[in-house]
Amino acid sequence: MSLLFEPGKIGNMELKNRFVRSATVELLCTEEGRVTDVYLKAYERLAKGGVALIIPGNYVVNPLGHNYPKAPTVDKDEVIEDLRRVVSVVHEHGAKIVGQLNHAGRQADPKLIGAKPVAPSPVRDKMSFVKPRQMTEDEIEKTINEFGEGARRVKEAGFDGVQIHAAHGYLINQFLSGYTNRRKDQWGGSIENRMRFLVEIFQAIRSRVGPEYPILVKINAEDFAKTGVHPEECVVHCKKLDELGIAAIEVSGGIAEKGLNTIKGDLPMELFLEGRGPVERLMVRMMEGSLKKSAAFEEGYFLSQAATVKRNVKVPVLAVGGMRTRKKMEEVLESGQADFISLCRPFIRQPNLVKLLERDDGDPISCTSCNHCSVEILFHKKSMRCYKT
Ligand SMILES: Cc1cc2nc3c(=O)[nH]c(=O)nc-3n(C[C@H](O)[C@H](O)[C@H](O)COP(=O)(O)O)c2cc1C
């Protein structure tokens, strides 16, 4: 039997195969972040489709950390009842579910949060032009606790684990990165200091969820910024997390201001320009070349970085980013480059793709990474579905 369908384990979590649905912003909740029937249906469809582990789109730990509307915020106990309904539909169909915790920091949407976004340092984002406000030490401590409390709520709702979002240019990544973290206090400077925020978040979560509960992380191997996180630094981060007791590491890359490195594929330019004013259109046109370069696709575009992490840690590694063919996915598992295959865009198009792969010897994945979904969901804030025409 193909290794893809062999059971696997993350911490104490038994998984029926090696497929993970990587975290995906859905915009399927109400404006107030309440779970809807459409949201539940989307998760039921995924669970029925045979994937072993599902990671919903980031649950924000504080309203200041929102980057997308219509998503649950895990900052109050009332959210637990809603999340229980999500867990229930997923468990009913034999899949496991892990809640991703996030704070967008300087990548938060100012219109959505009604305030100036916060960050380790006031470094302007060259894509959104947002100049964030530097967090005080009190705010840093408070945010660490909010991640801990968010994890407690996710556990109380019955989730099988939590994933710390330390990738994609969001707040934790901003602390890790020398590009966005210019602090001179205990939270900045040396790699140990820049890592302190993540380490303390891990500890705040662990102290609330107990020693056995799986805590996963999604982390950047590369920010694609000159003084940002690079693979050697990422190995240091991952070794530390391994030592602390992380259950699994999903290796990704890219920050919003550096283009489409996270979601490589086509750049549907006309769609990307839709709804923008003349000045913005001109700016985007000027960046077209570098945006296209950042989007250049090759299958498994973070695989070499995942394999590097895998060689340096004891825990399972999830490969994410452009995995599209059965041959490649089998090769990854057989060669030991990673332990799980994590997919996002293919599941938007085909929530049942694991069943299709199980049934069929060929390559049923029809996602072409056209990025119509990315532009419509992430930029135009439309709800999750395949927008390929
Ligand atoms: C519409 C969309 C929403 C996403 N939302 C999240 C998210 O909430 N959290 C996260 O860690 N990554 C998010 N990602 C990134 C994916 O999880 C994944 O890392 C990336 O799409 C590469 O995988 P793929 O090539 O299989 O799509 C999102 C990507 C897309 C296209």
Exposed/middle/buried for 330, CB within 10 Å: 0-12, 13-18, 19+? middle
Cβ(368)–Cβ(350) below 8 Å? no
* Domain assignment of residue 346, given as a range: 3-255+299-357
Count how many domains the chain has: 1
Q: Which of these is catalytic: 39, 43, 59, 170?
A: 170
Report phi then psi at 73, rounded to 5. -110, 130
Q: Is the pLDDT of residue 214 over 80?
A: yes
Q: Identify the CA nearest to 169 among candidates 268, 234, 97, 258.
A: 258
Q: What pLDDT is attached to residue 309?
A: 98
Which residue's CA is the nearest one to ligand 1's atom 22? 321
Asked if pLDDT for residue 3 goes beyond 90, the answer is yes
User: Where do the DSSP E strands lie in 307-347?
Assistant: 317-320, 340-343
Answer whether residue 363 is part of any domain.
no
For the entire predicted model, the pTM comes to 0.98
Ligand 1 midpoint to CA 101 (Å)? 14
Ligand 1 centroid to Cα of residue 320, in Å, is: 9
Q: Does an H or E element contain 194, and which?
A: helix 191-209
Active site residue 170: yes
343 lines ligand 1 (CB under 6 A): yes
Could you tell me which of 315, 334, 327 has the C-alpha nearest to residue 365? Answer: 327
Burial status of residue 377 (CB atoms within 10 A of its CB: 0-12, 13-18, 19 or more): buried
- Written as six digits, the tokens of 118 are 């916060």
Separation between Cα atoms, residue 163 and residue 248, nearest integer Å:
9
pLDDT at 1 over 90: no
Write the pLDDT tens digit of every residue in 143-165: 999 999 999 999 999 999 999 99
Q: Where does residue 385 rank: exposed (0-12), middle (13-18), buried (19+ CB within 10 A)?
A: middle
Cβ–ligand 1 distance for 320 under 6 Å, the answer: yes
pLDDT at 361: 82
Q: What is the CATH number of the domain that holds 130?
A: 3.20.20.70
In the reported structure, the alpha carbon of residue 319 is separated from the centroid of ligand 1 by a whole-number distance in angstroms of 12
Specify whether the CB–CB gap between 250 and 218 falls below 8 A. Answer: yes
Looking at residue 251, its pLDDT comes to 98
Is the Cβ atom of 58 under 6 angstroms away from ligand 1? yes
Q: Are 21 and 50 in contact (CB under 8 A)?
A: no
Q: Whose CA is nearest to atom 11 of ligand 1?
A: 23
Q: What is the pLDDT of residues 77-129, one digit of tens each?
A: 999 999 999 999 999 999 999 999 999 999 999 999 999 999 999 999 998 99
> For residue 374, is it within any domain?
no
Residue 13's pLDDT is 98
* Mean pLDDT, residues 189-203: 98
pLDDT in the model for residue 112: 96
- Ligand 1 proximity of 234 Cβ (cutoff 6 Å): no
Per-residue pLDDT tens over the stretch 22-42: 999 999 999 999 999 999 999
Give how far Cα 284 sits from Cα of 21, 157, 257, Å: 31, 42, 12
Per-residue pLDDT at 145: 98
Q: Which has the higher per-residue pLDDT, 128 or 354? A: 354
Kindly state the DSSP code that residue 158 receives in the 8-state scheme. T
Predicted pLDDT at 389? 76
Cross-strand partners of 218: 165, 250
**pLDDT attached to residue 16:** 98
Task: Look at residue 279 and tell me if it is in a domain.
Answer: no
Residue tagged 């994890």 (tokens):
151
Amino acid at residue number 174? Q
Q: Residue 343 has what pLDDT?
A: 98
Mean pLDDT, the chain, rounded, equals: 97
Does residue 165 line the site of ligand 1, with CB under 6 A? Answer: yes
- Nearest Cα to 86, choosing from 77, 78, 96? 96
Per-residue pLDDT tens over the stretch 324-333: 999 999 999 9
Residue 276 maps to a domain = no
- Mean pLDDT over 234-245 rounds to 98
Q: Is 82 domain-assigned? A: yes
Cβ contacts of 286 within 8 Å, gap of 6 or more: none
CB 54 within 8 A of CB 97: yes
Residue 314, pLDDT above cutoff 90 = yes
* 44-67 pLDDT, tens digit each: 999 999 999 999 999 999 999 999
Q: Which of 263, 271, 375 to mutate to test the pocket of ligand 1 (most atoms within 8 A of CB)?
A: 263
Which amino acid is present at 368?
A: T
The protein residue with its alpha carbon nearest to ligand 1, atom 18, reads: 344
Percentage of the residues of the chain whose pLDDT score is greater than 70: 100
d(CA 247, ligand 1 centre) in Å: 20
Residue 303 lies in a domain: yes
Residue 230 located in a structural domain: yes
- The pLDDT value given to residue 374: 97
Pick the atom of ligand 1 nearest to 252's CA: 19
Residue 146 lies in a domain: yes
